[in-house]
Amino acid sequence: MEEKEKTPGQLLKEKLCWEIPSIAKEAPEQNAEAQAFCEGYKDFLDKGKTERECVEYAENMLVKAGYAPFDSKKAYKPGDKVYFVNRKKAIIATTFGQRPLTEGSRLNFAHIDSPRLDLKPNPVFEKQDLAYFKTHYYGGIRKYQWTCIPLAMHGVVCKADGSMVNICIGEEPGDPVFVISDLLPHLAAEQNKRTLAEGIKGEELNVIIGSLPFDEKDIKEPVKLLALKLMNDKYGIVEKDFVRAEIEIVPAAKAADVGFDRGLIGAAGQDDRVCAYPALVAEIESKAPLYTTITALVDKEEIGSVGNTGLDSDFILHYIEYLAQNAGVDYKDVCKNALCMSSDVNAALDPTFPSVHDPLNASNIGKGCVVTKYTGARGKGGSNDASAEVMQKIIAMLDEEKVYWQIGELGAVDVGGGGTVAAYVAHMDIDVVDVGVPVLGMHSPFEIVSKLDVYNAYKAYLAFYKH
């Protein structure tokens, strides 16, 4: 049958208007590729539940792919692959490009810390014959979401003699899990009067770790004592050791496919491991890039990029200085000619709660990776706000490689807001824009992403390293 001729209005609309397509409708063949890609991603989520675990996982992948530890004195040639670990909590990987560093470089920074509950330095107590850990939440959480779900304990203890103990319990079949209890509805009338934000208060985030007493008459706090004894049997630690520890309480669940069609992934910690994993894979798969790549998976974004493993420290700048020194150039020229993707998630429009977004400018599940020009709160406060020229460069790369991408704002104006590492990257005199994955239920114990979006973030990062 002959196709109907288009009307002038239809033609003009095609020429002038822009609509962001749904990937599944326009390119259904991508589903199989996305499904396959996300099997690796889910394994990364299950094995990397803390920044240290993510660094270990990433280091293994890099070493397997032929990356060598970075030597700050060595001159490298195009195609060489190196990595550098910062204090076990951040990792940088580089593939040396064919063009000199002063002509440009490609930086991709994602973060591997996620909202969670950290143990306090003196966490163990007993009350009414139950033993507990006291926690201090890390990052922005909605506290009520963390009750009544199985929790696992991950982390490290640095003992008095400096030896390290790794802890990971609640993940293997047969492992015990931990939990924060909440009130039954029958007795929650008073609690129900609290605001949602106060539904569970910070000091109520107490994790149950034991209920049986150490078997000895008249000993004080016998349930706490038995819990400490069992931890001592298993890990050789004592109560004072918690002061020298970094222990995180995280959801015990494994990453799962969501929906009959398995189009989504649910898991904790996808902000921002959903960008970190594709960034890492794109780095590894870039064999002979035009420009030198610097892929960094960093810590502490969720609490303001603080500390010397976060991006508000100079550790990346120092790394760039080493690269510049070895190449005999000035790092300042490297920075001002570098181009960076700050790879972080954005808030997808939730059809159940549409009013917090401007639908014209919100990202949507299944429409590809999100290019976020600015984040911030109120009048873009705390944002980077990428320039028109930077937007042009990035969009040209994505379009050329047929990557599905969309735009996003972090909510409607004055509803809330947030930031990413982009502002800290810009501080180094580096051009940067946020490119990430849209997420439903961000910072919850079960964040949701679309596999097609994850796959297109990976394609975006590959495209970036190709140009």
CB of 277 to Mn ion, least distance (A): 14
Q: Is 223 or 276 the residue whose CB approaches Mn ion more closely? A: 276
Considering beta carbons, is residue 124 or 442 the nearer one to Mn ion?
Answer: 442
Pairing of strands 105-111, 405-407: unpaired
Nearer to Mn ion, 80 or 385 (CB): 385
What does the longest C-alpha to C-alpha distance in the chain come to? Answer: 93
Per-residue x/- track, 80-119, Mn ion (CB under 5 A): ----------------------------------------
β-bridge partners, 297: 91, 110
Closest residue to Mn ion, judged by C-beta, is: 272
Measured from the CB atom, is 271 or 431 closer to Mn ion?
Answer: 271
Nearer to Mn ion, 126 or 344 (CB): 344
Can you tell me the distance from the alpha carbon of 65 to that of 81, in angstroms, rounded to the nearest whole number?
A: 9
Q: How many helices (H) and strands (E) does the chain have?
A: 12, 22
We find the least distance from the C-beta atom of residue 79 to Mn ion, in angstroms, to be 32
Q: Which two tokens stand for residue 72?
A: 């700050």
Size, binding site for Mn ion by CB under 5 A: 3
x/- binding map, residues 212-251, to Mn ion, per CB under 5 A? ----------------------------------------
To Mn ion, the closest distance from the beta carbon of 255 in angstroms equals 17
**Owner of token pair 């609509």:** 19
Least separation in angstroms between CB 271 and Mn ion = 4
Indicate the burial class of 435 (C-beta count within 10 angstroms; 0-12, 13-18, 19 or more): buried
- Examine residue 299 and tell whether it contacts Mn ion (CB under 5 A): no
CB of 172 to Mn ion, least distance (A): 28
Task: Pick the closer one to Mn ion by CB: 271 or 350.
Answer: 271
Shortest distance (Å) from residue 194 CB to Mn ion? 25
Give the interface segment with Mn ion, choosing from 53-61, 156-164, 341-349, 427-435 (CB under 5 A): 341-349
Question: Cβ 447 to Mn ion, closest distance in Å?
Answer: 10
Secondary structure element (H or E) that encloses residue 370, with its range? strand 369-372
Q: Which is nearer to Mn ion, 53 or 272 (CB)?
A: 272
For Mn ion, give the closer residue by CB, 118 or 271: 271
Using the minimum distance from each CB to Mn ion, give the nearer residue, 177 or 303. 303
Q: Long-range contacts: 363-366, Cβ < 8 Å, 24+?
A: 363/406, 363/407, 363/408, 363/438, 364/20, 364/22, 364/406, 364/438, 365/264, 365/438, 365/440, 365/448, 365/449, 365/450, 365/453, 366/22, 366/23, 366/24, 366/263, 366/450, 366/452, 366/453
Shortest spacing between CB 48 and Mn ion, in angstroms: 15
Query: Do 58 and 86 meet the contact criterion of CB atoms below 8 Å apart?
Result: no
Q: Which of 53, 113, 118, 344 touches Mn ion by CB under 5 A?
A: 344
Nearest approach, Cβ of 354 to Mn ion (angstroms)?
A: 21
User: Binding pattern to Mn ion, positions 300-339, x when CB under 5 A?
Assistant: ----------------------------------------
Sign of CA dihedral 136, 142, 146, 147: positive
Q: How many whole angstroms separate alpha carbon 101 and alpha carbon 291?
A: 7
Count of C-beta atoms within a 10 Å radius of residue 454? 23
Query: Contact 426/373 with Cβ under 8 angstroms?
Result: no
To Mn ion, the closest distance from the beta carbon of 268 in angstroms equals: 12
Q: Judged by CB, which is closer to Mn ion: 82, or 439?
A: 439
Place of tokens 């930031």: 419
How many Å from the N-terminal Cα to the C-terminal Cα in the chain? 42
272: preceding bond cis by omega (within 30 degrees): yes
Q: Which of residues 265-294 bind Mn ion (CB under 5 A)?
A: 271-272
* H helix intervals, 6-50: 8-16, 23-26, 30-47
Under the rule (CB under 5 A), what is the footprint of Mn ion?
271-272, 344
